[in-house]
Amino acid sequence: MDTETQTTRRRARGSSEGADLELTGICKRFAEFIAVDQLDLVVPSGKFFALLGPSGCGKSTTLRMIAGLEAPSEGSISIGGQDVTELPSHKRPVNTVFQSYALFPHMSVLENVAFGLKRKKDREAMPKAKAALEMVELGHLATRKPAQLSGGQQQRVALARALVNRPQVLLLDEPLGALDMKLRRQMQLELKTIQTEVGLTFIHVTHDQEEAMTMADVVAVMNEGRIEQLGPPRELYELPRTAFVANFLGKSNLMRGTVSGQEDQLLSVDVAGNRILLPAARAVATEGEIMVGIRPEKLQISATEDTTAGMNRLDGIVKDASFTGTTTEYLIEVEGIGLIGTFAQNRGQQPGEMGQRVFLSWDPVHTFGLRGSESELAGVEEA
Amino acid sequence: MSSRVLGRRGKKLDLRSAEELRAERRKGRTGQYLVLPGMIGLALFFALPVLVLLAMSLYTKPPGAEIGEFVPALQFSNYAVMLEAYWPVLLRSFWFALIATVLALLIGYPMAYLVAVRLRQHGLLKGILLVLLIAPFFSSFILRTQAWKQILSDEGFIAQTLKAVSLLPADGHLTATPIAVVAGLTYNFLPFMVLPIYANLDRLDTRLLEASGDLYANPVTTFTKVTLPLSASGVFAGTLLTFIPAAGDYINASLLGNNRNTTMIGQVIDSRFFRVIDYPGAAALSFVLMVSILILVIIYIRRFGTRELM
Ligand SMILES: Nc1ncnc2c1ncn2[C@@H]1O[C@H](COP(=O)(O)OP(=O)(O)OP(=O)(O)O)[C@@H](O)[C@H]1O
Ligand SMILES: [Mg+2]
């Protein structure tokens, strides 16, 4: 189907639905400072896309360029196949839930929510706005001014104000940051339901990894104005391609080593005298000095040595064991490598006490390989 | 320190000790004493003169009295006589002041917006323009009006140019016309319009304008629905600060007017006091002016100002 018939059908139905969003070679410079650097991004129509990254990495700036509030220094933006780079914000089929809420202080909550619909001359602006307020459980506060609401309530008004317009692309800049856990989970479900029902394209900026992983179809990890890696949450978690992603998204044990050989698609890497196997397909670099990574939960920790053939093995001394309820987290000092983190379910038997020697093992298929030139601490502090 | 906690049913429980309460009351009283000098000043320099003026407006001239000799009385007819003679002048004063206020708003708002919002990131330029806005206050009001007289005079550059391009007839004038008076009023009271609006727009959160654009409002709608309502209290203050002094002004009308169809009430009061030496008449007119301005302002506040003043 060509785009023209698609557009006509969409118009005929009189409702907007999600549209493809495409950023090509987007750069944003503030004087000398580069906030967004050569960003290429395609978000297919109706997808839930999460943008994850440390503070100041350019997430809000990216959203602002999509919304038309900031002009890119370079590159182009298109929505539903139409180039909108030069289009002013009020003509774009995009709405934003602002990080600062940006509610109109002189209008009631209800008027705030109805604002966009009224601009579009929607006859049912008021009933729709009321329904949207009910959805975020604020129907009873419709006549209040924003200043008379709590932070979390204001945030929900901002959410309703943007959602009620059913834009083709909805931009959410940390829309749930001020909510408590219970409300947050509830809003996440609500958002996901709306997104799938109406088929809107969501671009969701968040600091909360769990939120990004549970809600999004595609997650992009951003750092210093660039997208480090992009993909489905599971893929991103299981196979990080940079040390930054490995550390920022969840936790990783990263160890430096030298590739010593390859057989049957398995690289063998010498890590401080230990032979670690890893699938060549899971390594970004396959020669020389590389970094070997393994997620903490993939490690088996036990008081006796695992002798199963083909497993990766390390041993060390327990330096720290902290009880967290369902699990106990361990830090194990491995000679020549340093501290390795892992945890064990609390099923009764303790694999090791402080100062005891324990054995670690894992299936090579979970191992991943990164470039040796990277710092193993990249993204640790930011996470 | 006092601490308040919310009791059950949301009632405030006062947990302050008697000593704390006493200390607080003492603090409250200190505040009251601080107001005292101001109150005395107000009584001495405002309330008293107004009362004297009110009394004077009812004086009468005894038969065979000398010039400037009046005796206390309750001659209310002073008001009737003055109103009868000068109601058109009073009306004209308000009319001129209104036009000048509207013009000052139309000129002043964009100026304030430019400096407060558009140039927010440009510290130096903003500072220079702000100084220029305040600069007129550094020179005398009369001097500036005199300068206007020169600028608009028949030999002046503007009149000559307008005549050259036939926008003004060869025997036309710019001075000694209502236009010149209104222009003078507008010019002289412009800073009173600009500064309150500037102070207001300076605090305007421009992210709200972005949000408005994001919600499909074009720049004009954003202005009428967001910027203007949010700066309403500045506009309100500016219009009052312009209209009130403009209505009572007599310098502009004297220097730029022609005394026939430009006379303003301030001029009449001035000449009643100092030339005709009719103190009760002048006092009565002053009082009429004051009360009518008060009434107009109250109507205005009722109509537009409630939200800001509450
Ligand atoms: N108008 C501006 N002028 C100069 N620098 C700016 C401007 N706006 C943003 N920046 C810079 O660009 C970088 C990216 O900012 P941005 O707001 O996109 O960060 P972010 O990823 O949204 O961070 P956060 O998670 O804290 O909201 C920051 O270093 C910021 O200081
Ligand atoms: Mg941000």
Burial of A373 (0-12, 13-18, 19+ CB in 10 A): exposed
End-to-end CA distance of chain B: 31
pTM of the model: 0.81
Across the strands, what pairs with A293?
A254, A368
Contacts of A115 (CB under 8 A, 6+ apart): A104, A107, A161, B212, B215, B217, B225
Name which residue leads in pLDDT, A306 or A170. A170
Quick one: average pLDDT of A115-143?
93
**pLDDT of res. A141:** 95
The C-alpha atoms of residue B215 and residue A113 are separated, in whole angstroms, by 10
Q: Cβ atoms within 10 A of the Cβ of B302, count?
A: 10
Across the strands, what pairs with A77?
A23
Q: Beta strand B12-14 with B4-6: parallel, antiparallel or unpaired?
A: antiparallel
CA distance B216 to chain A (A): 4
Angle at B26 between CA B22 and CA B31, to 5 degrees: 150
B7 has pLDDT over 60:
no
**pLDDT of res. A264:** 84
The per-residue b/e assignment along B32-68, b for 16 or more CB within 10 angstroms, e otherwise, is eeeeeeeeeeeeeeeeeeeeebeebbbbebeeeeeee
The C-alpha atoms of residue A170 and residue A205 are separated, in whole angstroms, by 11
Nearest to A315 by CA among A307, A327, A324, A325: A307
Lowest mean pLDDT among A109-113, A247-251, B257-261: B257-261
**pLDDT of res. A308:** 83
Name which residue leads in pLDDT, B162 or A203. A203
In three-state form (DSSP H/G/I as H, E/B as E, the rest C), the secondary structure along A30-92 is: ECCEEEEEEEEEEECCCCEEEEECCCCCCHHHHHHHHHCCCCCCEEEEEECCEECCCCCHHHC
Contacts of A303 (CB under 8 A, 6+ apart): A351, A352, A356, A358, A359
pLDDT per position as a tens digit, B16-62: 666 776 776 666 677 788 888 889 998 889 999 999 999 999 998 88
Q: Beta strand A289-294 with A338-345: parallel, antiparallel or unpaired?
A: unpaired
| Interface confidence: ipTM more than 0.85 | no
In whole angstroms, what separates CA A264 from the centre of its chain? 34
A14 has pLDDT over 50:
no
A242 has pLDDT over 70:
yes
**pLDDT of res. B281:** 92
Do A96 and B211 make contact, defined as CB atoms within 8 angstroms? yes
Do B221 and A165 make contact, defined as CB atoms within 8 angstroms? no
The per-residue b/e assignment along B82-106, b for 16 or more CB within 10 angstroms, e otherwise, is beeebeebbebbbebbbbbbebbbe
- Report percent pLDDT > 90 for chain A: 63
pLDDT per position as a tens digit, B239-283: 999 999 999 999 999 988 887 888 999 999 999 988 888 999 999
Looking at beta carbons, which residues of chain A come within 8 Å of B208?
102, 104-105
The C-alpha atoms of residue A89 and residue A94 are separated, in whole angstroms, by 8
End-to-end CA distance of chain A: 43
Q: What domains lie within chain B, and their CATH numbers?
A: 78-304 (1.10.3720.10)
**pLDDT of res. A382:** 61
Least distant ligand from the CA of A37: 1
The C-alpha atoms of residue A277 and residue A364 are separated, in whole angstroms, by 6
**pLDDT of res. A3:** 46
A260 has pLDDT over 80:
yes
* Residues whose beta carbon lies within 6 Å of some atom of ligand 1: A 30, 33, 35, 53, 55-61, 99
List residues of chain A with CB under 8 Å from any CB of chain B. Answer: 67-69, 88-91, 94-96, 98, 100, 102-106, 115-116, 119-120, 161-162, 165
Distance A147 CA to ligand 2 centre (A): 22
pLDDT per position as a tens digit, B89-105: 999 999 999 999 999 99
Distance A53 CA to ligand 2 centre (A): 10
User: Edge-to-edge strand order for the sheet containing A82-83?
Assistant: A33-43, A21-30, A74-79, A82-83
**pLDDT of res. B15:** 57
Do A69 and B213 make contact, defined as CB atoms within 8 angstroms? yes
> What are φ and ψ of residue A284, in 5° steps?
-75, -35
pLDDT per position as a tens digit, B188-229: 999 999 999 999 999 999 999 999 999 999 999 999 999 999
Looking at beta carbons, which residues of chain A come within 8 Å of B225?
115
Nearest to B230 by CA among B112, B106, B97: B112
The C-alpha atoms of residue A223 and residue A96 are separated, in whole angstroms, by 22
Average pLDDT, chain A: 89
Contacts of A233 (CB under 8 A, 6+ apart): A50, A212, A213, A214, A216, A219
Decide: helix, strand or coil at residue A183: helix
Cross-chain CB nearest to A106 (options B207, B217, B230): B230
B116 has pLDDT over 80:
yes
Name which residue leads in pLDDT, A4 or B226. B226
**pLDDT of res. B161:** 87
For chain B, give me the number of helices (H) and strands (E)? 15, 2
B9 has pLDDT over 60:
no
Contact (CB, 8 A) for A266 and A278: yes
- Taken in order A222, A225, A230, A232, the sign of the CA dihedral is positive
> What are φ and ψ of residue A232, in 5° steps?
-60, 150
DSSP state of B45: I
Q: Position A354: which residue type? A: M
pLDDT per position as a tens digit, A140-166: 999 999 999 988 899 899 999 999 999
Do B211 and A105 make contact, defined as CB atoms within 8 angstroms? no
Name which residue leads in pLDDT, B62 or A97. A97
Nearest-atom number in ligand 1 for the CA of A54 is 25
pLDDT tier, A103 (very low <50, low <70, confident <90, very high otherwise): very high
Do B211 and A67 make contact, defined as CB atoms within 8 angstroms? no
In whole angstroms, what separates CA A380 from the centre of its chain? 16
Quick one: average pLDDT of A254-283?
92
- Report percent pLDDT > 70 for chain B: 90
pLDDT tier, A298 (very low <50, low <70, confident <90, very high otherwise): very high
Nearest to B101 by CA among B206, B209, B190: B190
Cross-chain CB nearest to A69 (options B210, B219, B221): B210
Contact (CB, 8 A) for A225 and A56: no
Do A89 and B213 make contact, defined as CB atoms within 8 angstroms? yes
**pLDDT of res. A139:** 93
Average pLDDT, chain B: 86
Q: Quote the tokens at residue A22.
A: 């495409």
The C-alpha atoms of residue A193 and residue A359 are separated, in whole angstroms, by 45
> What are φ and ψ of residue B284, in 5° steps?
-60, -45
Decide: helix, strand or coil at residue B169: coil
Lowest mean pLDDT among A85-94, A356-365, B16-25, B226-235: B16-25
Distance A171 CA to ligand 2 centre (A): 12
**pLDDT of res. A379:** 80
Question: Which string of DSSP letters, residue by residue, matches A255-308?
Answer: EEEEEEEEETTEEEEEETTEEEEEEGGGBS--SSEEEEEE-GGG-EEESS----
Contact (CB, 8 A) for B178 and B96: yes
In whole angstroms, what separates CA A39 from the centre of its chain? 16
